[in-house]
């Protein structure tokens, strides 16, 4: 069994923000797989399904970013999902919009959601997909930046990265193959 956790903050005011790219990817993955409907379980919106016969769980923790590790750990513990079968999707300030990075393990890089998951699991070897949201301008603080929305150009770049990630996520769910790689959307003319 695999667990895909898209990180974000619950509530309408956070929909479409850079910080909620993990929620967006889970929603788009469900669309691509032709599945719908969440149930409330483990402090998350949860969907249990299978992809080509492989069982998987998709969650969007509803605990807010700083405490999302509790939801991920509860779900993984209940279903006895090994840490190497967990994929976490989050935003990343150090990557520009249109870039995505796949990694096995690692640190939190200052991301409070990843920090919470590492602390709750007691392990940092879960897999992660980080989406570039870029650094804020000098006038804007980090919180204000990640709670803002994509510009039209950034949205096109991000969508290109999301399309690549969706294909790779489905491949992982079916084959368990996860490569440490990165993706950069072609620059828009």
Q: What share of the chain is helix, strand, coil (3-state, %, to 5)?
A: 40, 25, 35
pLDDT of residue 1: 94
The predicted model gives 7-29 an average pLDDT of 91
The predicted model gives 104-111 an average pLDDT of 82
* Domains along the sequence of the chain with CATH: 2-184 (3.40.50.1470)
On the question of pLDDT at 82 being above 50, the answer is yes
pLDDT of residue 36: 87
pLDDT of residue 56: 94
On the question of pLDDT at 51 being above 80, the answer is yes
Whether 126 and 86 have beta carbons less than 8 Å apart is answered as: yes
Catalytic residues: 19
The predicted model gives 3-7 an average pLDDT of 96
Structure tokens at 127: 């897999």
Q: What is the pTM of this model?
A: 0.91
pLDDT of residue 71: 96
**Phi, psi (rounded to 5 degrees) for 3:** -125, 125
Tens of pLDDT along 114-137?
999 999 999 989 999 998 888 887
């Amino acid at each position: 069994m695999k667990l895909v956790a898209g990180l974000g903050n619950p509530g309408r005011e956070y929909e479409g923000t850079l910080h909620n790219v993990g929620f967006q990817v889970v929603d788009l993955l469900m669309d691509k797989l032709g599945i719908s409907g969440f149930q409330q379980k483990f402090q998350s919106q949860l969907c249990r399904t299978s992809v080509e016969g492989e069982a998987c769980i998709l969650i969007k923790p509803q605990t807010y970013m700083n405490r999302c590790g509790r939801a991920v750990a509860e779900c993984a513990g209940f279903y006895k999902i090994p840490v190497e079968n967990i994929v976490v999707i989050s935003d990343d300030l150090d990557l520009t919009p249109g870039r995505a990075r796949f990694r096995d393990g690692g640190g939190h890089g200052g991301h409070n959601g990843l920090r919470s998951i590492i602390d709750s699991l007691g392990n940092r070897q879960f897999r992660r997909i980080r989406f570039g949201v870029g650094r804020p301008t000098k006038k804007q603080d980090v919180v204000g930046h990640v709670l803002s929305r994509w510009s039209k150009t950034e949205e096109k770049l991000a969508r290109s990265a999301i399309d690549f990630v969706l294909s790779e996520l489905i491949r992982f769910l079916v084959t368990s193959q996860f490569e440490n790689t990165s993706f950069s959307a072609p620059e828009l003319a």
